Amino acid sequence: MIGDPLGDAAAGLVEGLSAGGVRAAVVCPGSRSTPFALALDRHPAIRVWMHLDERSAAYFALGLARGQRGPVVVLTTSGTAVGNLLPAVLEARHGGGALVVLSADRPPELRQVGAPQTIDQVNLFGSAAKATWDLPVPDRAAPRAHWVMAGVRAAQTASSAPAGPVQVNVPVREPLVPQWPAADAQRPRPSVARLARTTDWGALDAFAAGEPRGVIVAGADSLLGARSTIARLADRWGWPVWADPLSNLRGRIPTIATFDWLARALPQECRPAKIVRVGPAPTSKAANQLMAQVPTAVVDAEGSWRDPGGSAVVWVPADLEAWDDEPWPWPLQASRRAAWQQAWTHLDELAAARLASRIADAPGDLSSHWAHALASVVPADALVMVGNSLPVRDLDQWFAGSQRFLLFGNRGVSGIDGVASTGLGLAAARGQRLLLVVGDLSFIHDVNGWLPVRLGGLAATVLVANNDGGGIFNTLPQAGLPPESFERLFGTPHGLELSGVATLYGGRYEKTSTWAETAAALAAGQRQGGLEIVDWHTMPRPGYAAWLAETQAWLANDLAEVWHALV
C-alpha cells in the first residue's frame, strides 16, 4: 500500500462507489468528513454538489438518485448532521431511491465519553436503512481491497431492487487531511454483475383471466417503462386502468382519470371483483380503501412487499423499469374493449365533463385550478414536482393527463418536508427546468433547499398554493373540533410574507389572487432563468373544504342514474 492509511482508504472507498454506479455526490461541509469530501471531489467520474443543510442535502441527493436511476452519495460529518438525514432516508426506503449515506464518525475511543459532535451513529436509521456497515478505522490492517469492495457493495445494495438507502459509517482519527496513494487512477476497476429478473406472467394471468369485472390500478410512481404492457393486459382482460397521476400514464395510454371521484361514489353492486395493482399504492384514499376489500394481485419490484390493505393474494416480482422490454408471452391481438371497460370509459368522460363545468362555476379561486389547467401552462421541457397534502390530492382529482411532461412526487412516506430539494435534485440530474407546486407549509418547511439554484445554476418556478395553513386538515375529521383548538393545533395559520425567500436567494417574486393572474405569472416565469416564486393566495381553507364536499355529493347524485351501466 502506498500513501497513508487514511488516504488509501478514502480513495479505495470512493473508487468502489464509482465502480458500483455512483456518478454524483452531495457533500455537506464538515471536518471529520474531510478525507471523503476530498476523495469524492478528485474522482473524475463523480460530480460533487455542495449543500449547507443536511436535511435538504439528503432530499436533493434523493432527487438526483431518482433522476439518474442510480446510486447517489450524501456525505456528512459526525453528530447531529447524520440525524438530519432521517426524513430523506425514510422517503428513500418507502418511496424508492438509491441513497448511499456516507457518515464520518468519531473513533471508538471518543464515543460515550462526552466528546463533541459524537453520538451513536451505528444503526442510527434502524429499519429505515436496507443495510448499515460500520467500517473500521482506516489503518494498515485493512487492505485497500476491503475499502473498494465496501464501496461497491454499498452502491449495489442501494440500487438493487427495491432501491433504497444504505449507511456506510466510517470512524476517522486525526489528522483528517490525507496523503493520497500514488497512481490511484491507474489501478484496475472492479467489475460488477447485475442479476436479471423475470415476470411470472402465468400467475398473473391465472389470477385475472375469466373475471370480467376487474380493475388495473397504476400506483403513485412513474410506470412509463411498463405502459405498453399495462395497456396490453387491460385489453387482454377487458379491464379499465385507474392511473394515479404520478404514474405518468394519464394521456399516454387509455386510463380512467376521475377514478378517485368515482370510487367515492361507487355503489356496492358496482365495485370490481378483482384488482391488479402495478407499482406502489395510489394517492387516492378511496381506491386504497376499496383494494383492502377486494382480492388483489400486486406487481411490484422484487422484494418490495407493499400491501397496506393486506388484500394481496398474488405477488408478482417484476423489473417495472423495463417491463415493456420483456417478451410478451401471448400472441398479439387487436385491441378489444369489453363492455365493463367501455362503461368505465363512459363514466370517466361524463365525470370529467361535469367536473369541468363545476370548477368553471366555482365561487372563488380554488387551489385545484392549477391541476385542472396544468397541461396548458407547463412547457414541454419542464418537469413537475408536486408536494404532498392538498397539492397531490388536487392533482389526483383534477389532472386529465398529458404527454408533454413528467410528474414526480415523494409518496414513499408522503411527508411535506424536502419536496423542493428532491425536485431540484431531479432537475439537476435531468438538465431540465423545475416547476414545483406546493402548499405554503411545505414551502416554508424546505426554505433551505433553494441554495442549489444559486450554487448550481439551476432554474425553478415555484407555485405556492397559499391558504395560510394546513388546508388538508379542513377536509379531515379534525375540522369538527372547536374552532379555537382546530386553528391553533391543525389549521396553523402563520401569516408569513414569502417574498423574503426570493430576496434571500436572488429570485423573483409575484403575489397573485386569481387563477388568471397565476397562469400568466407561471408562463412568464418559466421563460426565464433562476428562481421564480408565484405566491397564489387561494380560497380560504374552510370554504374550499366545503366546496369539495359539495362537489363530491353533487357528482355522485348527478351520476346515480348511469351507474346501472356497470351492473
Report pLDDT digits (tens) over 135-144. 999 988 777 8
What integer pLDDT is reported at residue 188 of this predicted model? 44
Mean of pLDDT over the chain: 90
Q: What is the pTM of this model?
A: 0.87
**CATH assignment of 5-178?**
3.40.50.970
Q: Are 75 and 40 in contact (CB under 8 A)?
A: yes
Pairing of strands 131-134, 99-105: unpaired
- Which residues are CB-contacts of 184 (< 8 A; sequence separation ≥ 6)? 11, 15
**CATH assignment of 365-538?**
3.40.50.970
Q: Is the pLDDT of residue 103 over 80?
A: yes
Q: Provide the terminal-to-terminal Cα distance of the chain, rounded to the nearest Å.
A: 75
- Which residues are CB-contacts of 36 (< 8 A; sequence separation ≥ 6)? 10, 13, 14, 75, 102, 104, 170
Same fold: 201-344 with 365-538: yes
pLDDT tens digits for 378-393? 988 789 999 999 999 9
Would residue 301 be called left, alpha or beta, if left means φ above 0 and alpha means ψ between -120 and 50 degrees? beta
Q: Is the pLDDT of residue 463 over 70?
A: yes
Q: What angle do CA 176, 182, 184 make, to 5 degrees?
A: 90
Return the CATH architecture of domain 201-344. 3-Layer(aba) Sandwich (3.40)
Compute the average pLDDT of residues 77-89: 94
Q: At 242, is the pLDDT very low, low, confident or very high (cuts 50, 70, 90)?
A: very high
User: How do the domains of the chain map onto residue ranges?
Assistant: 5-178, 201-344, 365-538
**In this structure, what are the phi and psi dihedrals at residue 357, rounded to the nearest 5 degrees?**
-70, -35
Matching residue, cell 464520518: 104
Compute the average pLDDT of residues 95-104: 96
Burial class (CB in 10 A: 0-12, 13-18, 19+), 542: middle
- As a whole number of angstroms, the distance between CA 285 and CA 554 comes to 19
pLDDT tens digits for 396-410? 999 999 999 999 999
Give the whole-number percent of the chain exceeding pLDDT 90: 70
What integer pLDDT is reported at residue 181 of this predicted model? 65
